[in-house]
């Protein structure tokens, strides 16, 4: 067991002690919080990621002291920052990063994802994802656990169908025009986006190339509750500062205001599908 695992378990145990001190069973706390009965057990044994809102609920329902609540929330931020370190995530390949992403997303209330150069991971097809992971493995000289990484990325996509998680997917048209995979793979990927564009459990939007932007996106990012994750070539930054979080929300809102949704987004996808289908002809 690593130091990180020990720290994660200790955090869950601290929440358990709060509950016991308040004289509450796991079932009682779950009922008061509006959670499934199993969530309390998973949180306290570090088998499910915890959001800041979860910790606030624990502290409120157990009448925890203000200073204890503040310490727990700060510890959670530090745990999540440590978990997101690039060196830690890729030491055994990309599968571990996908598993970590699933933990964050499964426990999230809100996800806002913007990509500027690639189709966002949560809506990638398996074949498109395979090409992405091959490029990543070559760049970072990491373990080529391609099949396992693809499997985990596909497992992450269950959050798209969850009615308890608000998911907003935003990407640039450039991300769809950049052929990181052969034309037939791109057609399949765009068909997937076309199907997702009509879903009621998520929001999909595309920033067209000719849109006048009210903000300047320098890179992609994902907002998961009170954290922002930003990938660069050599590291992944985890941002938890409230002012920075608000800044990223403003950036996302600005991009969203210039994006196409619904019928307009589907029309753009159909044009791109026709483009790649023509390129695939002998």
The residue extents of the domains of the chain are 3-83, 94-279
In angstroms, how far apart are the furthest CA atoms of the chain? Answer: 72
Residues 109, 165: Cα–Cα separation, whole Å: 5
Class of domain 3-83: mainly alpha
Position 88 scores a pLDDT of: 60
Residues 116, 250: Cα–Cα separation, whole Å: 17
Position 184 scores a pLDDT of: 96
Q: How confident is the model at residue 281 (pLDDT cuts 50, 70, 90)?
A: confident
Residues 35-41: what's their mean pLDDT?
A: 90
- Residue 7's nearest CA partner among 68, 83, 65, 61 is 83
Residues 201-205: what's their mean pLDDT?
A: 94
Residues 182-209: what's their mean pLDDT?
A: 95
pLDDT at 86 over 60: no
Lowest-pLDDT range of 13-27, 72-86, 109-123: 72-86
Position 26 scores a pLDDT of: 95
Supply the mean pLDDT for the chain.
90
Residues 108-133: what's their mean pLDDT?
A: 95
pLDDT at 164 over 60: yes
Q: Which phi and psi (to 5°) does residue 113 adopt?
A: -120, 125
| Percent of the chain with pLDDT strictly greater than 70 | 94
pLDDT at 128 over 60: yes
Position 280 scores a pLDDT of: 74
pLDDT at 94 over 80: no
Domain 94-279 has CATH 3.40.1800: no
Position 219 scores a pLDDT of: 94
Position 47 scores a pLDDT of: 85
Q: What is the dihedral of CA 116, 118, 121, 124, to 10 degrees?
A: 130
Ordered DSSP codes for the chain:
--HHHHHHHHHHHHHHHHHHHTT--HHHHHHHHT--HHHHHHHHTTSS---HHHHHHHHHHTT--HHHHHHHHHHHHHHHHHHT-HHHHHBTBSHHHHHHHHHHHHT-SEEEEEESSS--GGG--HHHHHHHHHHHHHHHT----HHHHHHHHHHHGGGGG-TTSEEEEEEEHHHHHS-SS-HHHHHHHHHHHHHHTT-SSEEEEEE-TTPPPSS---S-EEEETTEEEEE-SS-EEEE--HHHHHHHHHHHHHHHHT-B-HHHHHHHHHHHHHHHHHHT--
Position 160 scores a pLDDT of: 93
- Residue 263's nearest CA partner among 201, 211, 198 is 198
220-271 pLDDT, tens digit per residue, is 999 999 889 898 777 777 787 889 999 999 999 999 999 999 999 999 999 9
Lowest-pLDDT range of 94-103, 143-152, 180-189, 240-249: 94-103
Length of the chain: 282
Residues 33, 24: Cα–Cα separation, whole Å: 12
Q: How confident is the model at residue 89 (pLDDT cuts 50, 70, 90)?
A: low
- Residue 190's nearest CA partner among 106, 275, 131 is 275
Q: How confident is the model at residue 83 (pLDDT cuts 50, 70, 90)?
A: low
Position 141 scores a pLDDT of: 74
14-32 pLDDT, tens digit per residue, is 999 999 999 999 999 999 9
Residues 79, 258: Cα–Cα separation, whole Å: 35
Position 206 scores a pLDDT of: 98
């Amino acid at each position: 067991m690593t130091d990180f695992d020990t720290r994660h378990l200790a955090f869950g145990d601290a929440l358990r002690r709060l509950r016991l001190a308040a004289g509450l069973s796991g079932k009682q706390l779950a009922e008061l919080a509006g959670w499934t009965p199993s969530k309390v057990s998973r949180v306290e044994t570090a088998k499910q990621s915890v959001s800041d809102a979860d910790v606030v609920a624990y502290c409120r329902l157990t009448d925890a002291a203000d200073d204890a609540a503040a310490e727990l929330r700060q510890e959670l931020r530090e745990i999540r920052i440590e978990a997101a370190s690039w060196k830690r995530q890729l030491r055994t390949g990309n599968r571990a990063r996908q598993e970590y992403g699933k933990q964050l997303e499964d426990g999230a209330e809100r996800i806002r994802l913007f990509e500027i150069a690639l189709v966002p991971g949560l809506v990638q097809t398996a074949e498109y994802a395979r090409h992405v992971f091959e490029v990543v493995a070559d760049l970072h000289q990491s373990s080529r656990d391609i099949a396992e990484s693809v499997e985990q990325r596909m497992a992450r996509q269950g959050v798209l169908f969850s009615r308890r998680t608000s998911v907003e997917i935003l990407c640039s048209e450039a991300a769809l025009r950049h052929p990181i995979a052969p034309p037939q793979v791109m057609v399949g990927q765009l068909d997937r986006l076309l199907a997702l564009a009509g879903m009621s459990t998520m929001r999909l939007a595309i920033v067209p190339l000719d849109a006048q932007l009210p903000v300047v996106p320098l890179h992609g990012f994902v907002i998961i509750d009170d954290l922002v994750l930003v990938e660069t070539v050599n590291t992944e930054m985890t941002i938890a500062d409230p002012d920075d979080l608000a800044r990223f929300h403003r950036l996302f809102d600005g991009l969203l205001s210039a994006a196409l949704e619904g019928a307009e987004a589907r029309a753009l996808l159909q044009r791109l599908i026709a483009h790649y289908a023509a390129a695939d002809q002998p």
